[in-house]
Amino acid sequence: MESLTQKGVDAQTFDLASTTVRELNQFLHHELDGPEYIEILNPDGQHSIAVGLDAPVTVDIHGHAGYFIAGMNKQASVTVHGNVGWSVGENIMSGSVLVKGNASECAGASGHGGLVVIEGDASSRCGISMKGCDIVVGGSVGHMSAFMAQAGHLVVCGDADHGLGDSLYEAVIYVRGEIHGLGADAQIEPMQESDYAKVAELLARAGFDHDPKTFKRVASARSLYHWNADHFQEY
């Protein structure tokens, strides 16, 4: 994925050293008039930048940003040219969020749709409780990623820490590197043609060049779905 400002398109600029995040978000929510390109400077770890967007706007954030960046995103394409804190793209509905650096915990948490791309590493609980979005991580993910993930795909080009896919529902995880431990009810399954196609599609959309054949599939064994009579109904 490439940001539009890199193509030389004029952008409207907000400098968060002199403008508040609230003013920026007010503008993004109420004053956008048709497709626009927004540049944000000096995020300096501030929270909630470009949350709640619902327009096909392109936003470039230059620098490291804080929590909840581009949360609840709908339609917009948001790029962070730096690292982000917790919960980037939380509850994303559609559109895309691209982080050129690393992401802290809970990237793409509860996302319903759209695409979250982390070019670097994502920390723990990446894709926790995702409900239909796609997440592609260029590096590795931390522990308990895709915990209780319900639908959608998490593609990890690097390694995954312990507890991967704990208590998964119907989301599917693809990992290229080493898996340091699966969570409860997660299992490695054979890749099907549909899996190779899905990985190839998501890698292409995220801008990564890997052979889909090098990925493993992790999905739910579904043993947590059913009442286990061997427990003598003690629960």
Partner 1 sequence: MCGIVGLLLKNGALNARLGELVTPMLASMSERGPDSAGLAVFAEQDQGEKFSLFAADSEFDWDALKHALDDEALVGKPGIVSQGRYARLTLDVEPDTLKHWLGEHFPMLHVLSAGHYIDIYKDAGHPAAIAERYGFTGLTGSHAIGHTRMATESAITPAHAHPFTAGEDFCLVHNGSLSNPYSIRRRLERRGIRFETDNDTEAACRFIEWRLGEGETLEDALEEGFSVLDGFYTLLMGTHDKLALVRDPFACKPAVVAETDDYVAIGSEYRALAHLPDVKNATLFEPKPEVIYSWNR
Of residues 71 through 90, those in contact with partner 1 by CB under 8 A are: 83, 85-86
Residue 169 within binding range of partner 1, rule CB under 8 A: no
Which of 11, 13, 64, 151 is the binder for partner 1 (CB under 8 A)?
64
Is residue 143 involved in binding partner 1 (CB under 8 A)? Answer: yes
Work out whether 156 is an interface residue with partner 1 (CB under 8 A): no
Token digits for 178? Answer: 């080493």
Q: Name the token pair of 59.
A: 């936003």
Instruction: Answer yes or no whether residue 45 interacts with partner 1 by CB under 8 A.
Output: yes
Contact with partner 1 (CB under 8 A) among 37, 67, 68, 169? 67
- Of 4-12, 98-106, 176-184, 198-206, the window that binds partner 1 (rule: CB under 8 A) is 98-106
* Min dist. Cβ of residue 225 to partner 1 (A): 25
Considering the rule CB under 8 A, would residue 44 count as an interface residue with partner 1? yes
Stretch that binds partner 1, among 27-35, 142-150, 169-177, 178-186 (CB under 8 A): 142-150
Residue number with CB closer to partner 1 (85 or 95): 85
CA distance 186 to 56: 36
Stretch that binds partner 1, among 139-147, 186-194, 199-207, 225-233 (CB under 8 A): 139-147
Residues 3, 5, 46, 77: which binds partner 1 (CB under 8 A)? 46
Count of chain residues binding partner 1 (CB under 8 A): 20
> Closer CB to partner 1, residue 77 or residue 79?
79
Q: Following DSSP, what letter does each residue of the chain receive, concatenated?
A: ---GGGGT---EEEETTTS-HHHHHHHHHHT--SS-EEEEE--TT-SSTTTT-BSS-EEEEES---TTTTTT-BS-EEEEES-B-S-TTTT--SSEEEESS-B-TTTTTT--SSEEEESS-B-TTTTTT-EEEEEEESS-B-TTTTTT--EEEEEESS-B-SSBTTT--S-EEEESS-B--B-TTEEEEPPPHHHHHHHHHHHHHHT----GGG-EEEEE--GGGS--GGGTT--
Which residues of the shown chain bind partner 1 in the complex (CB under 8 A)? Answer: 44-47, 63-64, 66-67, 83, 85-86, 102, 104-105, 123-124, 142-144, 161
